[in-house]
Amino acid sequence: GFLPSMRHRRQGHIINISSIGAVTNAPRFGAYIASKSALDGFSRCIAGEIANDNVSISTIYMPLVKTKMVVSKANKYDHVHLLSTAEACQLVERAILTKQRTVATFTGRAVSLLYAVFPSPIEMILNTIYRLEPEQAPEGQPDSDSASGNKEELLALRQIMKGALGGQ
């Protein structure tokens, strides 16, 4: 593996690409977020083991990026701000240059802080987003009762949240 050689050389930098959902508790992505949270836990644990070896760890809490994988017929995600690939690269560049332990957008940091202080109201907002967000069932499966969502209300909620978070 790469870690033993970094420790031996007494130099290295590990950059993990996590998800904004790991700090914002995004509904609908539980299994995916669980895997990212496991990576976060592992990274925090080994950070104490490798601190004297001059090996640093950065975790980037990446928001959705406008790629073919994210934007499709089934999901347009037009109710959230999608990073361009250039903006995503800027987050990675920031991690490389600064070696910050965590790299996140303002929105990711704000929602994470608000959840730590006011978990119940934030869970209510996340549940509202979950119910309003359209969802397409896998091919051959029936749509759920909430599958159609309500895009107009979701976009209105986005504008309210955008104002509450300072235009981010």
Q: Which two tokens stand for residue 157?
A: 């909620």
Looking at the annotation, which residues are catalytic? 32
Own/partner pairs for 24-29, CB < 8 Å, 24+ apart?
Answer: 24/107, 24/108, 24/111, 24/112, 24/115, 24/126, 25/115, 25/122, 25/123, 25/126, 26/126, 27/126, 27/127, 27/129, 27/130, 28/130, 28/133, 28/135
